[in-house]
With several copies, the nearest count.
Chain A
């Protein structure tokens, strides 16, 4: 048992924090939001140069190597800085899924483009009636020639408007219930996007597939297990970003109550607010514990251990992000509900976190499914 970071991990953490502190202030955040697809090209290029876009990609495939713990480290730093660029949805998650692509040639080509920041992709798995369950899949893949044709609709595919390709889950009916993953270019005939910005930053699209052809070498091996593992990784990294945001907005709240006066005394002198701060800190620390657990289980552990840990973390961080974001705004008072202060932007970021990748109920149920009664 060892909760300490390696010296490489410490370096990664410190360099990420230093870069973001120096280069990603509230003005850059606004510039990024104003950029096409909420992604500032120069920032993205910087990520590529740091090698961050290749975390989790083996060095043999041009990546930086590293595991889920490294991903957590970078995402936490990005979350703390309110970064809007689609680091997870556009690069990290697609790259991880591509590691199981059937075609080694395409894999090499695409990973190279992703890691270099020349191309982005996106995962499209959620559906309107699925309510966060990746096992729900009404998009079908019907055999056609040596490949398939995809038909149906996906909802809220994060970063799809910036993507060259979508990674799509589809049911290879008949027989129904066999979910596979396919890589499809966004300009494929029959594929239409309805794009929109999302609350808290970033873009997404609802996607319609109308007999979209997909080649057999564009299938990702592992089917629903690969999808579930990919989404678990996304949840972990997303939760790490939420942890960074919670920590940052908590520190800002601490600073604010120390200086702001009401009734002739600093807010920090009011016991009710003091206890509120203590309660925020409690949830922050407990969130951190579960994220570390989920990271370790993702980096090395059985699938069941990973599922229990990731779903537990998602439930806990969801609750914590609610408390911390709401109380950060409440303790800031009027200024907290304005666009002018960053606190409200952290609030929206943390609110959006709760709406993605399955609701509280889904993950509570899932956590218990993978917890033995011993």
Chain B
């Protein structure tokens, strides 16, 4: 057992750090952990990563990824966040990529993977519906087979960045006559298809990240079905495990807490407050625990060990920590965090965005499988153990 990086890994870290130093866009401080608000900035950043071959950083070489080890990916992500680089949009790289590699046809791989890797096409995720939130399997959007097309009708909701996306991958109901999880299929849909309408949802952080997406007689070629009809639930579960492992957000939390500590250290009134010192220390301990839990899970994954409770652990603890850090920013900032969606002269950046971040991050315990649902899953697995 050892926790040290090899000399090769340290060299890799130095390389990434140097590249980030030169390439991370200015104005790196996105107000919200993990969700950039600036479309142009984000696309330019992903194109830059793609040019370097680092956008699809978790992909094997066979699909044009860098073929990094788990440790290298961890280092890359840590350095990216530490340098203030916006997070990479997960929909193509983290979610759809591995799904196509595992369940997609050769033609689908050839058609879609290069465009993700090269930042040429952006994706969004169409899972949730108004009556199917935590209870995803209750979804109603249906796809009827007509000749060589599916005709899709229904509605998705909470669709992050649908307004930026070229494509959406959806769970749709292809068979209403079987038990609800069995009638679900996984479909890729061109966002420019006639019959798609996007309605923005403004969230309590004051921004537009989310959307409703309405489908009215949208025609989708049958070759856009991933896997078999009825296999959608299996694919979704595979995808969600990937999502939840990444969702821990350790790298972003580390950056945010580090910035907060620096802001406090630079301000004599706050630096001398023992209650603030304690709070930062508590967060640091939580972060350290999560960081090494995350590494342990990556280590397991690298060995190909079965993954059970771990994604839920990372999702719950990761979202709680993100929320706790943003709450600390807000409360340590106090009155400085009250100006709303406006610039006030002389304000400290960490505090300027703390309120938006705090509001935005309420979603982190709700979406991606609410923390309550995660605990249900955990309890089921724990109680099933002998």
Q: Which A residues are in CB contact (< 8 Å) with B284?
A: 312, 367-368, 371
CA distance A270 to B303 in the complex (A): 36
Evaluate contact between A361 and B273: CB separation under 8 angstroms.
Answer: yes
Chain B residues numbered 335-386 whose CB sits less than 8 Å from any CB in chain A: 335-342, 344-345, 355, 358-359, 362-363, 365-367, 370, 372, 374-376, 378-380, 382-383, 385
Binary CB contact string for chain A from 279 to 300 against chain B (1 if under 8 A, 0 otherwise): 1011001111110110111001
Evaluate contact between A3 and B296: CB separation under 8 angstroms.
Answer: yes
Write the chain B residue with the least CB distance to A67. Answer: B1
Write the chain B residue with the least CB distance to A258. Answer: B383
Evaluate contact between B269 and A129: CB separation under 8 angstroms.
Answer: yes
Q: Does A373 contact B (CB under 8 A)?
A: yes
CA distance A52 to B10 in the complex (A): 37
Evaluate contact between A5 and B331: CB separation under 8 angstroms.
Answer: no
Write the chain B residue with the least CB distance to A129. Answer: B269
Evaluate contact between B316 and A282: CB separation under 8 angstroms.
Answer: yes
Binary CB contact string for chain B from 283 to 319 against chain A (1 if under 8 A, 0 otherwise): 0111011101101100110010000010011001100
Q: Which B residues are in CB contact (< 8 Å) with A6?
A: 1
CA distance A356 to B333 in the complex (A): 11
- Known A274-B375, A275-B375, A367-B284; judge A262-B293 contact (CB<8 A): no
Evaluate contact between B289 and A254: CB separation under 8 angstroms.
Answer: no
Q: Does A103 contact B (CB under 8 A)?
A: no
Q: Does B204 contact A (CB under 8 A)?
A: yes
Q: Does B5 contact A (CB under 8 A)?
A: yes
Q: Which A residues are in CB contact (< 8 Å) with B265?
A: 373
Evaluate contact between B338 and A156: CB separation under 8 angstroms.
Answer: yes
Interface size of A by CB at 8 A reads 89
Q: Which B residues are in CB contact (< 8 Å) with A356?
A: 335, 338
Binary CB contact string for chain A from 329 to 349 against chain B (1 if under 8 A, 0 otherwise): 110011011111000110110
Evaluate contact between A348 and B204: CB separation under 8 angstroms.
Answer: yes
- Known A337-B363, A338-B201; judge A282-B296 contact (CB<8 A): no
Write the chain B residue with the least CB distance to A126. Answer: B335
Chain B residues numbered 1-45 whose CB sits less than 8 Å from any CB in chain A: 1-5, 9
Evaluate contact between B330 and A355: CB separation under 8 angstroms.
Answer: yes
Evaluate contact between A4 and B317: CB separation under 8 angstroms.
Answer: no
Chain A nearest CB from B172 CB (Å) reads 20
Evaluate contact between A316 and B285: CB separation under 8 angstroms.
Answer: yes
Q: Does B128 contact A (CB under 8 A)?
A: yes
Evaluate contact between A296 and B1: CB separation under 8 angstroms.
Answer: yes
- Known A69-B1, A334-B366, A364-B282; judge A204-B338 contact (CB<8 A): yes
Chain B nearest CB from A326 CB (Å) reads 7
Evaluate contact between B345 and A194: CB separation under 8 angstroms.
Answer: yes
Q: Does B278 contact A (CB under 8 A)?
A: yes
Evaluate contact between B128 and A274: CB separation under 8 angstroms.
Answer: no
Chain A residues numbered 110-129 whose CB sits less than 8 Å from any CB in chain B: 126, 128-129
Q: Please tell me which one of the listed residues A271, A277, A296 contacts residue B3 in the complex, with CB atoms under 8 A apart.
A: A296
Interface centre among B303, B313, B333 (most CB of A within 10 A): B313
Chain A nearest CB from B85 CB (Å) reads 17
Evaluate contact between B340 and A199: CB separation under 8 angstroms.
Answer: yes
CA distance A204 to B334 in the complex (A): 14
Q: Which B residues are in CB contact (< 8 Å) with A348?
A: 204, 359
Q: Does B262 contact A (CB under 8 A)?
A: yes
Q: Which B residues are in CB contact (< 8 Å) with A279?
A: 375
Chain B nearest CB from A60 CB (Å) reads 24
Evaluate contact between B261 and A373: CB separation under 8 angstroms.
Answer: yes
- Known A69-B1, A274-B376, A286-B317; judge A1-B344 contact (CB<8 A): no
Q: Please tell me which one of the listed residues A199, A300, A361, A374 contacts residue B338 in the complex, with CB atoms under 8 A apart.
A: A199
- Known A254-B385, A334-B128; judge A131-B270 contact (CB<8 A): yes
Evaluate contact between B204 and A338: CB separation under 8 angstroms.
Answer: yes
Q: Does B115 contact A (CB under 8 A)?
A: no
Evaluate contact between B1 and A347: CB separation under 8 angstroms.
Answer: no
Q: Which A residues are in CB contact (< 8 Å) with B359?
A: 337, 344, 347-348, 351
CA distance A338 to B376 in the complex (A): 25
Q: Please tell me which one of the listed residues A278, A293, A336 contacts residue B288 in the complex, with CB atoms under 8 A apart.
A: A293
- Known A274-B376, A278-B382, A333-B133; judge A1-B4 contact (CB<8 A): yes
Evaluate contact between B355 and A368: CB separation under 8 angstroms.
Answer: no
Q: Which B residues are in CB contact (< 8 Å) with A361?
A: 273, 275, 278
Q: Which A residues are in CB contact (< 8 Å) with B288?
A: 290, 293, 308-309, 312
Q: Does A268 contact B (CB under 8 A)?
A: yes
Evaluate contact between B289 and A286: CB separation under 8 angstroms.
Answer: yes
Q: Please tell me which one of the listed residues B158, B289, B363, B372 contacts residue A312 in the complex, with CB atoms under 8 A apart.
A: B289
Binary CB contact string for chain A from 169 to 213 against chain B (1 if under 8 A, 0 otherwise): 000000000000000000000000010111110001010000000
Evaluate contact between B365 and A330: CB separation under 8 angstroms.
Answer: yes
Write the chain A residue with the least CB distance to B137. Answer: A263
Evaluate contact between A271 and B2: CB separation under 8 angstroms.
Answer: no
The 4 closest A-B pairs by CB, nearest first: A274-B379, A289-B292, A344-B204, A278-B378
14 contacts between A and B (CB under 8 A): A1-B5, A1-B299, A3-B1, A3-B300, A261-B131, A274-B376, A278-B316, A281-B309, A281-B378, A329-B366, A334-B158, A360-B275, A361-B273, A373-B261
